[in-house]
Amino acid sequence: MKPSANPTVIIRHCDAYDPERIRAIVREGLETLGLRPHGRTLVKPNVVSSGPMFKNAYTRPEFVEGVLAALRDRDDGAVDELAVGERCGITIPTRRAFAGAGYDEMLERARAKRYCFEEEPQVEIPYSHKGRLRDYVFTPEPVARADFFVNCPKFKAHPWTTVTFSMKNYIGIQDDRHRLIDHDHRLNEKIADLQYIVQPQFIAIDAITAGEGRMLTPIPFPLNLVIMGDNQVAFDAVCCAIIGVDPMTVDHIRLAHERGFGPVDLAAIKVVGDVSLDEAKARAKGFKVGLIRVEKYFEGSHITAYAGPPPDSEKTDYCWGGCPGAIEEAIEILRLFDETVDAKMPRLHVVFGKYEGPLAVGPGEKVIFMGDCSEYDGPIGDKLVQIRSTYKDRATKDPHHAKHEDIYVKMASVMAKLASSKDDPYVRFGGCPVSVAEQVLALCFLSGAKNPILDPKESIPFNKAYLQWRSTTALQRLKGVPYQREGACERGEARPEVE
Ligand code: SF4
């Protein structure tokens, strides 16, 4: 599967989530690009979360419905399977995210199969390119075996990677246990490496209502656009140009470009459609990306954040892809569920990385040391405290032995930790990263804010989906289907041909 050498990006006007209008636009896009689906055709939306509170975070089902109908329109009998697959974020069962986002009814109407990637066997993919973070990774079998891969992201800002367009949507082609490996200050490199698993033949992004500022709880920004393309790097470069970001400053795009996946220079990309690039830029004027350091993010709140660098050997002074960004998303989730959370929050100090400055902690105030790499040597009140890094080199993290930690285990461990440190001036949360879910739970327990996971409207469908997920994978194990399968996938052209 070779990324297109003469990439085209199509920018179209669309001001409504009308599946029929989207179908017509996408069908014309497929015609312009000369594409027809075939074999196992897999659509990968961004359903990072779901439900009315997160409705600007995910690719809307009306959008995917239009895309699926357009793919059927372009099928000349060569499609064996039309499917939609995803691993959503923040520890939610994907089947719950699909249901909450309105995908289930839509998939039934569209006669498309649903894949919840964490319920599928995981296939080992070897890497051999220069500069890789590791020699192999795992991806769900439907991704590894897709013949025609369609990426359907949501146009959003991202607090860890500046933007989430087409390439960043690949973080959902791994289940939790594998996704969290390297989801730290090397996140951009991880995303660039994931490009070797599969390249999409077609990309269609939901930019009708884009998401500004954040990724889970973005501010809606009407762009009224459907953007399509056939090369992921070129596509992301055009999306960057629309919001005035230099794609070479977004490391995962830069790396993929340098590795031969596609051009970032607009002169090398054919941009067509009924909306010019200049008109698209005018529509996006003022669009804010989300790259804000954690210290600044919490200014003026009851939380003071202190960020030292992640481990020395790893060449950066801030962990953009890990714990600091996760706490920014965590507080925004709590704000959605409980508007009094900021008022309820006790004075709290949160330390990331190797922090060498002073901690301005008042009597009775608590300090959280967040993540394996947090380090501190100094006073907290009248006590001298030494926090040592427990960071493990990434070379010691073998994807073969990655373990799944479910939300209930996380909940119990966060509660136990807070209970055991109740009378201490500080508490340490280990993990690399400490996930958004764990940070939501920690802030929730400390502030007494409403726990989104125990929200009465959410808890019954969540628990039902959780039990179905766990029983599905248990049944597969009983049938002898291995969850992780070593060795390359069976598709002939497994790796994109670059370099
Ligand atoms: S522990 Fe957290 S802050 Fe430290 S390197 Fe890992 S993800 Fe980054």
Confidence at residue 90, expressed as pLDDT on a 0 to 100 scale? 64
Mutation pick for ligand 1 pocket among 293, 327, 352 (CB with most ligand atoms within 8 Å): 352
Structural contact between residues 145 and 489, judged by C-beta atoms closer than 8 angstroms: yes
Helix (H) or strand (E) holding 42: strand 39-45
Q: How many CA atoms lie within 13 A of 150 on its CB side?
A: 29
Distance from Cα 324 to the centre of ligand 1, integer Å:
8
Return mean pLDDT, the chain. Answer: 91
| Mean pLDDT of all residues in 335-361 | 94
Distance from Cα 54 to the centre of ligand 1, integer Å:
26
- State how far the Cα of 324 lies from the Cα of 389, in Å rounded to an integer: 16
Dihedral class, residue 79 (left if φ above 0, else alpha if ψ from -120 to 50, else beta): beta
Q: In sequence order, what are the beta bridge partners of 288?
A: none
Ligand 1 atom with minimal separation from the 314 CA = 5
Distance from Cα 323 to the centre of ligand 1, integer Å:
5
Confidence at residue 45, expressed as pLDDT on a 0 to 100 scale? 98
Confidence at residue 487, expressed as pLDDT on a 0 to 100 scale? 55
Residue 329: which of 164, 448, 145, 129 has the closest Cα?
164
Q: Which CATH class is domain 8-283?
A: alpha beta
Confidence at residue 476, expressed as pLDDT on a 0 to 100 scale? 83
Distance from Cα 373 to the centre of ligand 1, integer Å:
6
Higher pLDDT: 470 or 4? It is 470
Structural contact between residues 350 and 305, judged by C-beta atoms closer than 8 angstroms: yes
Tokens of 127: 């890497």
Confidence at residue 492, expressed as pLDDT on a 0 to 100 scale? 40
Q: Is the pLDDT of residue 499 over 50?
A: no
- State how far the Cα of 132 lies from the Cα of 331, in Å rounded to an integer: 33
Distance from Cα 161 to the centre of ligand 1, integer Å:
15
Ligand 1 atom with minimal separation from the 322 CA = 7
Which residues have any ligand 1 atom within 6 Å of their CB? 184-185, 310, 319, 322-323, 352-353, 371-373, 432-433
Ligand 1 atom with minimal separation from the 433 CA = 7
Helix (H) or strand (E) holding 383: strand 383-387
Residue type, position 373, single letter: C
List every span in the chain annotated with CATH 3.40.50.11440: 8-283
Confidence at residue 53, expressed as pLDDT on a 0 to 100 scale? 80
Distance from Cα 470 to the centre of ligand 1, integer Å:
29
Least confident of 11-20, 245-254, 324-333: 324-333
Q: What are 392-441's pLDDT values in tens digits?
A: 999 898 898 887 777 788 888 888 998 898 888 999 999 999 988 899 99
Q: What are 160-177's pLDDT values in tens digits?
A: 899 999 999 999 999 988
